[in-house]
Structure formats: structure tokens, C-alpha cells
Chain A
């Protein structure tokens, strides 16, 4: 068992004179036994980071520690990690048994122990009846289990998983999500899991590290990321449907502070106004999650008038799209609330549900205020 530490990890790809910074000075600490998810859009550098930890890619700069050991110069086979690939990468010429036994055979385990361990793992993953088959005779879900089996049979220090569920159909993916999480807790092996699917990240992770354009945007528990996104990117990436954003100017009038957008004027509390002006921010991005948008049929104080555009009933809840000037605002309401397209409503944003970001830096004002204190 081991923790993993990345210090200033950087990878620059150079080909035909073009320099691409795939991973840009990442610092990350993964605790022992933790399930950490690297989350981000495609091309954000998450897979490159994972491949550097595995030893398949050489870092341009920075250090990788597994346990207390600096592993930068260690060959993949000497790092004591195992990896599950997106396309499973099973050995097509070997049977399921030999695929799972492969890492043990290389390490010259006694025959009897290999057989015992492979059968144990096959039992755990419920693939015992498949041991004699070749990979091409298996379904996608079965292949996925074999790949997992090959990874866990060796009891490595760290599991590395590169979008292992993305080739499964939706139903199986949800099933495997829960199983994988349970398995990780049972085995207690530190796991770094790469995905672009925020639902997968939210449901499985102990902590999530969100990446964009090679940089680490925020690291935290799913709840932290959801409730207190540190910047606009994380705010927009996590949560479905995604957060609504409005660009506003901060104005101070005689009767108090306001966020003014092109289409609405929203009164904010004295404390928030003072905080924003103390930070010297004149333009903000105001964000609110669709679940936090309150919908009223009549005008109430500090509410914003909008026109209903689309109604999407999902059964357990209803997604409403409103037109607000040129913007579309999404709200999620209980299915009992019946609103027709074209109906005029008033939207209420409660201040403690707002996420406010500096327009210039994209950073959350709460993060800015927090760092100011230090």
C-alpha cells in the first residue's frame, strides 16, 4: 500500500517544431487507499498524467513518488503499479486464465500459487466459467472484468485506470461503477482513475482532481467541488444540467449594492457588495445551479422576469428552460409544478446559493477572499 505524490509534474510534447504543453506543473498528493479521480475534458492532460505515473511517458520536468520512492527513472515493471486500459489491452493469443496469470508468471510465482490466485480473482469478478476462453469470445463487460482481474491479481501498490468503463453500454456502466468502487474499498489499494464523465467521477471518487488544458483546476471531495467550485471551469464542468452563468457589473447605489447584467438588476447584500468591492472586482460572473433556481408565478422582491421556452419532464423532476434576454436559464423543479411554454414567470436566486467569480481571472471570490486572509 502506498501514497502517490506528484511534484511540479510537466510534460511537453514536441513534434515537427510544435510544442504542446500537455501537463503543466501539477502538484498532487494521493493518500494511501484513496480513490482519486482525474477528471477533465478530452485533451486536458489527465491520461498523460496517468501514463507518466505508470512509466509509459517520461516527464519533461518534475517528480513522481510512489510511497517514499522517487520513481522517475524506474521502468514500468519496477514501479509495482497495474493499469486497466480503455480498450482493455488483453493479450489476444492467450486464454482468460493466462491473461490474468500473466503478471504472476513473469514474476515467476510457483504454479500452484498462480492457479490459486487466478481462481480467487476469477471468483471475485464472477468470471470463473470463462477461464478457458480467448478474449475475442467474450463480451465487452466480460473483457473488462478480465482486464480488472489482471490488474488486481498481483496486489500492486497502485491501480491506474484509464477510462475503463467508457466502452461499456450505459446500463452495464452504472452497474460496474458501483462494483468497482466496492472492489477498491475491499482491496484497499490506492487508485488513480481517469475519466471525462463527471457523473462517474462524482459517484466513485473519494476526491476528484479536475484538470483543464494541462493544469490542475481544483482538488477536493465531490461535495466540495459541487458546493464550492474554485473557478468558473470547475463550476461549469461539474453538475448536470450545468450551472447558469451571467456576466454582471458590480454597482453601488444609495440603497445598496447591485449586480447588473444586460437584462436584469439583482440586489445583493451589504456584506457581499463590500467583499467584492474590497477585492477590487468590477465585473463578475454570477453562477447558479439549475436546482437552486426558484420559480415563482408572480412577481416577488428581487426576482427576475423570464419567459418559459422549453419544458422537459423527466418524471422525477422537470427541467425548464427560460429565455432571459439572449441567455437561456435552466431550472430544475419538482414534477408537480406545471408550467407551459410561453408562460411568464419570475426567477429567484437566493444569495447563499450563488457562485461568484472574478470575470478577469475566473476565480471564485470566496477563494480570493480566503487567500487574502493568509
Chain B
């Protein structure tokens, strides 16, 4: 008996050790480049291109460079405007669409839902040329609006699909009870369903924000001088004279910070959303 339980304990120990090892390796592989960027951003100019030096006196000169010599304020502002607007617009358009797809019976509903999903599977570059021509004719190239529209279009498929799942989690009867208790259809949506899917709105809104924040392709092609996204700004340190590595890594660190903060918030909301669903089901 004792021997057996000790053997199974050993087995468990080895297994969990193995899992920790694999996870640690993965985290190491994923985080190493980021750690390298963060470290490099604090390196003084003479050693900035020597990746093997890990011990040095940290300096803020690279950050001084990006905030004072070549200000990053403008791209930071542009990116915030675009990402926040994209996130809000995606939710404003996507949630009612998701509600209709979740709650109303109409001919071809499931086909329509799947058709929307196919846009998620298509390569973004496929839309570059048609959108470029459209924005050109509308005189919208190099404006915030062009990127907000494009990012919203790119986000809508997953916003609609995820919100549809959250709405499906709300028991139909709760809405029906509210209809009988005296709300109109629109009031039920705004006063009953929306409060109940708040965790979903938070999670999906943050996802949409992050996707817009880190988007590069459309930002590179549709904007240039008036509007500059951080992802594009970072590449501008790649000059004819070579890569200006110090300020570039500092700019990357700055552009990463909001994405990381929101990712942590998102993590909390996804977990909370899931437990809320479990309680409701019970």
C-alpha cells in the first residue's frame, strides 16, 4: 500500500516536473526577445549592439531620445485614438449584429454567420488594394478615419462571433420575462441583455483594442505623414545609415506597455466571464 502510493507520488512528481519544464521552455523562448529588447533599451550607446553584455549601468538616454529628439508623443496619440475608436466602434456595430444572429430567426441566418466568419480567415493583404482605391477616392488616405474603418472591418467578424457566444449564454427566458414584465424589444436589449454581457463587452473590447494597437500592414499602407501608428513609427529607426537600435528598442518598450496592461486586464475578465456563465447555468 505504502509503496504503491509512494510510486504514484513519484509518477505525479515526474509528470508535473515535465510539464513545468515544457512550460518554462516555452515562456523562455517567447519572452527572450522581449527581455532582450527591454534590456537593450536601457543600454548606453557604445554597447547597444553587443547583445551578450547583460551587466552594465542602465541609462535613460534612449528614452530621452524618443521623447525629446524624435518625439514619440504624436504616434502614441494617433495609435490611442485609432485603437480606442476601433474598439468602441467594433462593439457598437458588432454587438447588435451578434444579438440579431443569436436571437432572431430568419432565413439564411447560419449561412450569414458563417459568411461573416470567413472574413476572419481571409488574409488581410487581400483587402489592401480595393480599400486603398476606395480611401484614395474618398480623400481619406493618411487620416485616422481610414485606419479606424479598416481596423473595425477587420475586427467585426470575431467581435460578432464572440459576442454571439456571450449572448447565447444569457438564458432566453430572462429576456422573455422582461418582455412580459413590460419592456419593449429595444429596452430588453439595452437594460437586460447588455448589463448581463458586460464581462463579454469588456473582454471583446480589449481584444479589439489590442488587435488595432499592434496592427502594422494597413497602418503602413494607408497612412504616412499626418497619421503615424506606433508599429510604423518603430520601423522608422531603420535608416539608410543603419538601425538606430537604442531608441528603437525604447520605442518598442513604450508601445508594448498598454498592450501588456490590457492583456492582464483581459485575462482577469475572461476568467470572470467564464465563472459568471457557470453560476448562471446552475
Residues of chain A having any CB pair with chain B under 8 Å: 15, 54-56, 75-77, 79, 81-83, 85-87, 89-93, 102-103, 106-107, 136, 150, 154
Nearest 6 A/B pairs, CB to CB: A89-B173, A106-B182, A103-B181, A89-B177, A76-B179, A85-B173
Of A77, A82, A91, which one neighbours B174 at CB under 8 angstroms?
A91
Of B178, B180, B183, B196, which one neighbours A92 at CB under 8 angstroms?
B196
Of A15, A83, A86, which one neighbours B180 at CB under 8 angstroms?
A83
A124 nearest CB across to chain B (Å): 19
- Taking CB atoms, residues of chain A closer than 8 Å to B178 are 91, 102
Against A, the Cβ 8 Å flags (1 = close, 0 = not) of B189-202 are: 00010011000000
A102, B171: Cα distance in complex, Å: 18
- Taking CB atoms, residues of chain B closer than 8 Å to A75 are 179, 184
Q: Can you name 16 A-B residue pairings with CB atoms under 8 Å?
A: A54-B180, A56-B176, A56-B179, A77-B179, A81-B180, A85-B173, A87-B171, A89-B173, A91-B192, A92-B279, A93-B195, A102-B178, A102-B181, A106-B182, A136-B280, A150-B181
Query: By the criterion CB–CB under 8 Å, are B183 and A89 in contact?
Result: no
Query: By the criterion CB–CB under 8 Å, are A85 and B177 in contact?
Result: yes
Query: By the criterion CB–CB under 8 Å, are A77 and B181 in contact?
Result: yes
Query: By the criterion CB–CB under 8 Å, are A103 and B171 in contact?
Result: no
- Taking CB atoms, residues of chain B closer than 8 Å to A87 are 171, 173
B196 nearest CB across to chain A (Å): 6
A54, B272: Cα distance in complex, Å: 35
A-B contact count (CB 8 A): 62
A54, B282: Cα distance in complex, Å: 26
Contact A77:B196 (CB < 8 A) given known A85-B173, A89-B171, A91-B174: no
B198 nearest CB across to chain A (Å): 9
Of A56, A77, A93, which one neighbours B184 at CB under 8 angstroms?
A77
- Taking CB atoms, residues of chain B closer than 8 Å to A15 are 105
A89, B279: Cα distance in complex, Å: 13
Of A56, A77, A136, which one neighbours B182 at CB under 8 angstroms?
A77
With a 10 A CB-CB cut-off, give which of A82, A90, A106, A150 has the most chain B CB atoms: A106
A150, B173: Cα distance in complex, Å: 14
A187 nearest CB across to chain B (Å): 17
- Taking CB atoms, residues of chain A closer than 8 Å to B171 are 87, 89
A82, B183: Cα distance in complex, Å: 13
- Taking CB atoms, residues of chain A closer than 8 Å to B196 are 92-93
Contact A106:B181 (CB < 8 A) given known A87-B173, A89-B174: yes
Query: By the criterion CB–CB under 8 Å, are A77 and B176 in contact?
Result: no
Of A82, A86, A93, which one neighbours B181 at CB under 8 angstroms?
A82
A89, B170: Cα distance in complex, Å: 10
A187, B99: Cα distance in complex, Å: 38
A133 nearest CB across to chain B (Å): 14
User: Which B residues between 24 and 50 are near A, CB-CB below 8 angstroms?
Assistant: none
A86, B177: Cα distance in complex, Å: 11
Query: By the criterion CB–CB under 8 Å, are B176 and A89 in contact?
Result: yes
A54, B196: Cα distance in complex, Å: 24
Query: By the criterion CB–CB under 8 Å, are A82 and B180 in contact?
Result: yes
Query: By the criterion CB–CB under 8 Å, are A106 and B183 in contact?
Result: yes
Contact A103:B192 (CB < 8 A) given known A85-B176, A89-B173, A91-B174: no
A55-B180, A89-B177, A103-B182 known; 11 other A-B pairs, CB under 8 Å? Answer: A75-B179, A77-B182, A77-B184, A83-B180, A86-B173, A91-B177, A92-B279, A106-B181, A136-B280, A136-B282, A150-B181
With a 10 A CB-CB cut-off, give which of B177, B178, B196 has the most chain A CB atoms: B177
- Taking CB atoms, residues of chain A closer than 8 Å to B174 are 89-92
- Taking CB atoms, residues of chain B closer than 8 Å to A89 are 171, 173-174, 176-177
With a 10 A CB-CB cut-off, give which of B105, B181, B279 has the most chain A CB atoms: B181
A2 nearest CB across to chain B (Å): 16
- Taking CB atoms, residues of chain B closer than 8 Å to A76 are 176, 179-180
B238 nearest CB across to chain A (Å): 51
- Taking CB atoms, residues of chain A closer than 8 Å to B279 are 92, 136
A86, B280: Cα distance in complex, Å: 14
A10, B163: Cα distance in complex, Å: 34
A103, B177: Cα distance in complex, Å: 10
A56 nearest CB across to chain B (Å): 5
B166 nearest CB across to chain A (Å): 14
A92, B175: Cα distance in complex, Å: 12
Question: Taking CB as reference atom, which chain B residue is nearest A162?
Answer: B173
A77 nearest CB across to chain B (Å): 4
- Taking CB atoms, residues of chain A closer than 8 Å to B280 are 92, 136
Query: By the criterion CB–CB under 8 Å, are A77 and B192 in contact?
Result: no
With a 10 A CB-CB cut-off, give which of B176, B184, B196, B279 has the most chain A CB atoms: B176
Question: Taking CB as reference atom, which chain B residue is nearest A108?
Answer: B182
B105 nearest CB across to chain A (Å): 8
A136, B178: Cα distance in complex, Å: 18
A106, B184: Cα distance in complex, Å: 10
A364 nearest CB across to chain B (Å): 38
Question: Taking CB as reference atom, which chain A residue is nearest B185?
Answer: A75
User: Which B residues between 68 and 115 are near A, CB-CB below 8 angstroms?
Assistant: 105
